[in-house]
Amino acid sequence: MCSKAPAFFLEPALHLSYHIPMLSPLRIGPGIYVVAGPDLTDGRDALAYLIEDAGELALVDAGAGPSYTRILDLIRAAGYDPSALRFIVATHNHIDHIGSLASFVRDFDPIIVAHGLDATAIESADPVRTAARWYGIELAPVKVAMKLEGRIHRLVLGDSELVCLHAPGHTPGSLVVYLDREGRRYLFGQDIHGPFEAMFDSDLDAWRASMRILIDLKADVLCEGHYGVYHGADRVAEFIQGFLDRQSG
């Protein structure tokens, strides 16, 4: 989530063809698309990313809830059937990332994946820890079928492997996901920027350690939750380091 609505931007070369309203999802790599976000679906949505492999689908996050049917339209516009959804990874427990989970489970029954430290707030629809009260949206509780523990977990999607890393700081159970495809590493690093609030049990020291781990991944593409898509390992590292520098001391 963001403490205020950020300026939404993407890789400049991509932004030239990014109009409002967007009639199709934004392709950022082979089988990888943006299917939710302020310019695509609803101003309250964090970016959500669709990944396809061998006919199986995964979502990294799922928007705030009101745009659920629009997200389905964009999945279909990418050429895929939402019934092929195998996983939805909830990168953390804030409503702009999890609001549509209950609708997806009702209609398609994907496996909801989250870290155990954030799962309680998701399952109880805690209005404070999920920030639902901030957004003025009623959140439906949803069962987290796969509660991750420890630092690393690997999900098999078709012939690919989605690596889920525990990256605490913004929330205790924050996750990032990365995928290696065709010689490039795609990092889905939602809410790298924070914010950090006591009500969310944020931990700046843990966040700093997490960000250093992300830099060490040497990702070629960063897919962030509010600030868009960055191409190039140097730009990815600079983006993360820039937020570390802001929170130094």
Domain with 98, as residue range(s), is 12-246
42 found inside a domain: yes
7 found inside a domain: no
**What is the full per-residue pLDDT of the chain (249 aa) written as tens digits?**
554 333 332 332 233 233 345 568 999 999 999 999 999 999 999 999 999 999 999 999 999 999 999 999 999 999 999 999 999 999 999 999 999 999 999 999 999 999 999 999 999 999 999 999 999 999 999 999 999 999 999 999 999 999 999 999 999 999 999 999 999 999 999 888 888 999 899 999 999 999 999 999 999 999 999 999 999 999 999 999 999 999 885
Structure confidence at residue 193 (pLDDT): 87
Lateral strand order in the sheet of 184-189? 152-157, 160-166, 175-181, 184-189, 221-224, 229-231
204 found inside a domain: yes
Domains in the chain, number: 1
3 found inside a domain: no
Phi, psi of 240 (to 5 degrees): -65, -45
Global pTM? Answer: 0.91
Tens of pLDDT, residue by residue over 85-95, are 999 999 999 99
191 found inside a domain: yes
2 found inside a domain: no
How much is the CA Rg of the chain, to the nearest whole Å? Answer: 16
141 found inside a domain: yes
1 found inside a domain: no
184 burial level (CB within 10 Å; 0-12, 13-18, 19+): middle
Tens of pLDDT, residue by residue over 142-196, are 999 999 999 999 999 999 999 999 999 999 999 999 999 999 999 999 888 888 9
How many Å apart are CA 14 and CA 26, to the nearest integer? 9
CATH label of the domain that carries residue 128: 3.60.15.10
